[in-house]
Structure 1
Amino acid sequence: MGCWILNEKLSVLLLLVWLGLNLYLFIDTFHWYEDDNAYIYTRIMLGSTLAWARASATCLNFNCMLILLPVCRNLISFLRGASIYCGGALRRQLDKNITFHKMVAYGIALNATIHIIAHLINIERYHSSQSKEAGELRNKLSGLGKSPNESYLNPIRTYETNTTGEVLTTIAGITGVVITVALILIMTSSTELIRRSCYEVFWYTHHLFVVFFTGLIIHGMGQLVRGQTPQSLLLHNVTYCKDHYWEWENATQCPLPQFSGNKPVAWKWVLSPMVLYICERTVRFWRFQQEVIITKVVTHSSGVLELHMKKHGFKMGAGQYIFLQCPSVSQLEWHPFTLTSAPEEEYFSVHIRVVGDWTAALFKAFGAEEKAFKELWMLPRLAVDGPYGSATTDIFRYQVSVCIAGVTPFASVLKSIWYKCCNPNTVLALQKVYFYWICRDPSAFEWFGDLLFHLETKMAEKWKNDFLSYHIFLTGWDESQATHIALHCDDKMDVITGLRQKTCYGRPNWDNEFKQLAENHPSNSIGVFFCGPKALSKILQKTCNSYSSVDPRGVQFHYNKESF
Structure 2
Amino acid sequence: MGSFLANEGLSIVVILVWLGINVFLFVHFYMAFLIDRWFYTRAILGHALSWARAPAACLNFNCMLILLPVCRNLLSFLRGSIQCCSRTAARQLDRNLTFHKLVAYMIAFHTAVHIIAHLFNFERFMDAQLEANMSSLPHVLSLIGNKHNESFLNPIRNNQTSPTIVMFTTVAGLTGVVITLALILMITSSMEVIRRSYFEVFWFTHHLFIIFFIGLVLHGIKRIVRGQTLDSLKKHNPITCHSEFERWGLDQDCPEPKFMGNPPGTWKWVVGPMFLYLCERLVRFYRSQQKVVITKVVMHPSKTLELQMKKKGFRMEVGQYVFLQCPSISQLEWHPFTLTSAPEEDHFSVHIRLQGDWTEALYIACGGDRTRLQEAWELPRIAVDGPFGTASEDVFRYEVVMLVGAGIGVTPFASILKSVWYKHVQENTNVFTKKIYFYWLCRETQAFEWFADLLQSLERQMIAKDMRDFLTYNIYLTRWRDTEAAHFRVHHEAENDPITGLKQKTLYGKPNWDTEFSAIATNHPGHGILGVFLCGPTLLAKDLEKQCLKQSQAGAEFIFNKENF
TM-score by length of 2: 0.97
Corresponding residue to 1:435 among 435, 438, 447: 438
Specify whether residues 103 and 295 from structure 1 end up closer, same or farther in structure 2 by C-alpha distance, changes over 3 A only: same
**CA deviation vs aligned residue, 1:30-83 (integer Å, no higher than 9, x gap):** 00102x111000000000010011000000000000000000000000000001
The match for 1:373 is 373
Name the residue aligned to 1:51. 50
Matched residue, 2:484? 481
Q: Distance in 1 between matches of 2:88 and 2:44?
A: 51
Q: Which amino acid aligns with 1:222?
A: K
C-alpha change, 1:440 and 1:30, in structure 2 (3 Å) is same
1:182 matched to 2:182? The reply is yes
- 1:332-383 CA distances to partner (integer Å, 9 max, x unpaired)? 1111111111000000001111111110111111111344421011101000
Give the match for residue 546 of structure 2.
Answer: 542
CA distance in 1, matches of 2:352, 2:295: 16
Distance 2:347 2:478 in 1: 33
Indicate the larger mover: 406-415 or 379-388. 406-415
- Structure 1 residue 491 corresponds to structure 2 residue 524: no
Distance 1:371 1:343 in 2: 33
C-alpha displacement of 1:149: 4.6
Name the structure 2 match of 1:555.
556
For residues 163 and 415 of structure 1, what CA distance do their matches in structure 2 show? 65
Moved more, 266-275 or 420-429: 420-429
**Bigger mean CA offset, 429-438 vs 531-540:** 531-540
- Residues in 2 aligned to 1:73 and 1:64: alpha-carbon distance in whole angstroms: 17
Structural RMSD (CA): 1.2
- Alpha-carbon distance, 1:425 to partner: 3.8
Could you tell me how far 1:133 is from its partner in structure 2? 7.7
Give the whole-Å Cα distance in 1 for the aligned partners of 2:459 and 2:203: 41
Q: Could you list the runs of 5+ residues in structure 1 that have no partner in the other structure? A: none
The CA deviation string for residues 170-204 of structure 1, in whole angstroms up to 9 with x for no partner, is: 11011111111111111110111110110000000
Give the secondary-structure state (helix, strand or coil) at the position aligned to 2:129: coil
Q: Secondary structure at the match of 1:453?
A: helix
Q: Shift in Å at residue 535 of structure 1?
A: 1.1
Q: Is the 8 A contact 2:6 2:559 kept in 1?
A: no
For the Cα contact (< 8 Å) 1:4–1:546, is it kept in 2? Answer: no
Q: How does 1:367-516 map to 2 (within 5 A)?
A: 367-407=367-407, 408-409=409-410, 410-516=413-519
Distance (Å, rounded) in 1 between the aligned partners of 2:441 and 2:163: 60
Alpha-carbon distance in 2 for matches of 1:193, 1:495: 35
Distance 1:428 1:222 in 2: 63
Using the alignment, how far apart are the partners of 2:469 and 2:62 within structure 1?
A: 49
* Counterpart secondary structure, 2:440: strand
1:274 — aligned with what?
Answer: 274
- The 8 Å contact of residues 6 and 88 in structure 2, kept in 1 or not, is answered as no
SS for the counterpart of 2:472 is strand
Distance in 2, Cα, partners of 1:447 & 1:110? 46
1:430-473 deviation per Cα after TM superposition (whole angstroms, max 9, x unaligned): 00000000011111111111101111111111111100000000
SS of equivalent to 1:402: strand
Which residue does 1:251 correspond to in 2? 251
1:132 partner amino acid: E
2:317 maps to what in 1? 317
Paired position in structure 2 for 1:75 = 74
Matched with 1:130 is: 129
Contact kept in structure 2, 1:150 and 1:256, CA below 8 Å: no
CA shift digits 1:222-280 (9 cap, x unpaired) = 21100011111111122111121122111111111000112100000000001101111
**8 Å contact 2:3–2:559 — kept in the other structure?**
no
CA distance in 2, matches of 1:313, 1:559: 32
Question: Alignment partner of 2:298: what SS?
Answer: strand
**Structure 2 residue 155 is matched with structure 1 residue 152:** no
Partner Cα separation in structure 1 for residue 305 and residue 162 of structure 2: 60
Checking the alignment, whether the CA contact within 8 Å between 2:126 and 2:162 is kept in structure 1 is no
Separation in structure 2 between the aligned mates of residue 488 and residue 374 of structure 1, nearest angstrom:
38
* Residues 488 and 498 in structure 2, CA contact (< 8 A), matched pair in contact too: yes
CA distance in 2, matches of 1:558, 1:132: 66
Aligned pairs (5 A) from 1:260-299: 260-299=260-299
SS in 2 for 1:222: coil
**Secondary structure in structure 2 of the residue aligned to 1:242:** helix
1:40 corresponds to: 39
The 1-side partners of 2:156 and 2:50 are apart by 20
Distance 2:549 2:369 in 1: 44
Q: Separation in 2 of the partners of 1:25 and 1:242?
A: 30
Q: 1-side partners of 2:167 and 2:302: how far apart? A: 59
CA distance in 2, matches of 1:395, 1:167: 55
- 2:90 maps to which residue? 91
Q: Is the 8 A contact 2:310 2:348 kept in 1?
A: yes
Query: Which residue number corresponds to residue 202 of structure 2?
Result: 202
Q: Deviations over 1:512-537 (max 9, x none)?
A: 11111111112321000000111111
Match of 1:7 in 2: 7
TM-score (norm 1): 0.97
- Distance in 2, Cα, partners of 1:256 & 1:474: 81
Task: Give the equivalent residue in structure 2 for 1:143.
Answer: 143
Whole-angstrom distance in 2 between the partners of 1:96 and 1:225: 38
Which one-letter code corresponds to 1:435 in the other structure?
F
Q: Distance in 2 between matches of 1:374 and 1:84?
A: 44
- Contact 1:299/1:371 (<8 A) preserved: no
1:90-129 superposed Cα distances (whole Å, 9 cap, x missing partner): 1211000000000000010000010111001100000111
Give the letter for the 2:67 counterpart: L
The residue that corresponds to 1:109 in the other structure is 108
Alpha-carbon shift at residue 395 of structure 1 (Å): 0.5
Find the residue that maps to 2:260 and give its secondary structure: strand
- Look up the SS of the partner of 1:306 in the other structure: strand
Q: Is the 8 A contact 1:241 1:247 kept in 2?
A: no
Letter in 2 for 1:434: Y
How far does residue 165 in structure 1 lie from its aligned partner after superposition?
0.9
* 8 Å Cα contact 2:10-2:88 kept in structure 1: yes
Letter in 1 for 2:493: D
Q: Is the 8 A contact 2:319 2:415 kept in 1?
A: yes
* Percent identity (aligned): 55
The code of the aligned residue for 2:556 comes to V
Q: Count how many residue pairs are aligned between Structure 1 and Structure 2.
A: 560
Moved over 6 A (4+): none
Q: Matched residue of 2:115: which SS?
A: helix
**AA in 1 matched with 2:542:** K
2:30 aligned partner, one-letter code: F
Distance 1:358 1:372, change over 3 A: farther
Is 1:167 aligned to 2:171, yes or no? no
Partner Cα separation in structure 1 for residue 13 and residue 98 of structure 2: 15
Supply the distance in 1 between the matched residues of 2:549 and 2:132 (Cα, whole angstroms): 63
